[in-house]
Amino acid sequence: MHADSPEVIIDLDAIQRNFAIATSIAGPDVDVAAVVKSDGYGLGLSRLIEPLAAAGCRTFFVADLSEAHCVRERSKGGTVFVLAGMKRDHAEHCRKNRFVPVCNTLGEVVAAVDGGCDYALNLETGFSRFGLGLSDVRSLIHRSLPPPLLVMSHLACADEPANTLNELQKNRFVCLSELLGPTRRSLAASAGLFLGPAYLFDLVRLGSALYGLNTTDLVPNPFMNVLKLRACVVDVRHVHAGASVGYRSTFRASRPTRLGILSIGYAHGLAWSLSNRLNVQIGSHVAPLVGRVAMEYVAIDLTDVPDQFCQPGQWVELITKDRSADAMARAGATVAQEVMLRVGAACRRSYVAIEQGMDA
């Protein structure tokens, strides 16, 4: 990538602090696992494991076997759960590397047991995506198979504390898991952490909150922002009043306007829906995005920004300590997880030294 390519800056210290915050909220009797699927929510799985292990994390959830191997290389003693389930040709990998497949069907459980693997069990309690229901659990009991290492389910509406589906799912989870006998249980993910002790059981799966995302809209956000996104001004142009900017001329200048052209677009994960809807930060100043987000570039209005910040080579921040991925998601009518995944996967990444912090 070029020196002026957009850059994502990840604060590893903030990730460690978020893990510690969640551990404190969960309490001493509840373990906290790190969900690092999808390449660590786009932030680079390989760079996250060692800081998390140093913070005391011993349990990780990943999407697939390739991610599981990445974690195992960096955490020899940790427990690694694989959310993709169990296939018979995975048995040797899981057994040798002590991976724990999360089984979603009775057939997957049988494949895990036949392969000599520990396994976790996902129960369907109301999400209607994956998991074993009541008839499957009864069949499992009749087969007298070894018990799972963990029984889990997933709340559909944990970010809505008043939603009655939360309690319904919890009650179903309790009933199904009790049929299986004593085993470790996990129902809550990041948002579920705030539903109260009755939802926490033995293990909380910390995903979005680990990366500072405010899934429950708490004020203030109890977790720290871990991400900055910045792009470079590559050109400065002056247009007259009435001039149109970008595709379909969705912005027309109401006055003589100074434009900054930034080297970021939807090729770098910036949502097209942010067209004319995002403010960016230049030093202590704010400038609006004007016109449509294009593939490689976007324009901002620099008219009210001091000259010293309006030169090619100036860096502009789109996600900052105070302007989070949550704020960008609201502006673009999407979710913060998508924002983080898209820009994290497409932009150049750098990592703040643990002792430096985001203001370095």
| Annotation marks residue 37 as catalytic | yes
Q: Which of 76, 228, 247, 266 is catalytic?
A: 247
Q: How far apart are CA 221 and CA 199, in angstroms?
A: 21
- Which pTM value belongs to this model? 0.93
Spatial contact of 266 and 231, defined as CB atoms under 8 Å apart: no
Q: Residues of the chain with pLDDT > 90: what percent?
A: 89
Query: Interior CA angle at 153 toward 342 and 70, to 5°?
Result: 45
pLDDT in tens, 56-102: 999 999 999 999 999 999 998 899 999 999 988 888 899 999 999 99
Q: In the prediction, which pLDDT does 321 show? A: 86
Mean pLDDT of all residues belonging to the chain = 94
Position 356 confidence tier, pLDDT thresholds 50, 70, 90: low
Q: How far apart are CA 307 and CA 285, in angstroms?
A: 12
Has residue 250 got a pLDDT over 70? Answer: yes
Q: In the prediction, which pLDDT does 354 show? A: 56
| Annotation marks residue 211 as catalytic | no
Name which residue leads in pLDDT, 357 or 316: 316
Q: In the prediction, which pLDDT does 143 show? A: 87
Using the CB atoms, write b or e for 266-303: b if 16+ within 10 Å: bebbbbeebbbebebbbeeeebbbbbbbbeebbbbbbb
pLDDT in tens, 191-244: 999 999 999 999 999 999 999 999 899 889 999 999 999 999 999 999 999 999
Which residue ranges form the domains of the chain, and what is each CATH number?
12-211 (3.20.20.10), 227-352 (2.40.37.10)
pLDDT in tens, 14-37: 999 999 999 999 999 999 999 999
pLDDT in tens, 305-333: 999 999 999 999 999 988 999 999 999 99
pLDDT in tens, 138-161: 999 988 889 999 999 999 999 999
Q: Residues of the chain with pLDDT > 70: what percent?
A: 98
Q: In the prediction, which pLDDT does 360 show? A: 42
Q: Which of 37, 170, 228, 321 is catalytic?
A: 37
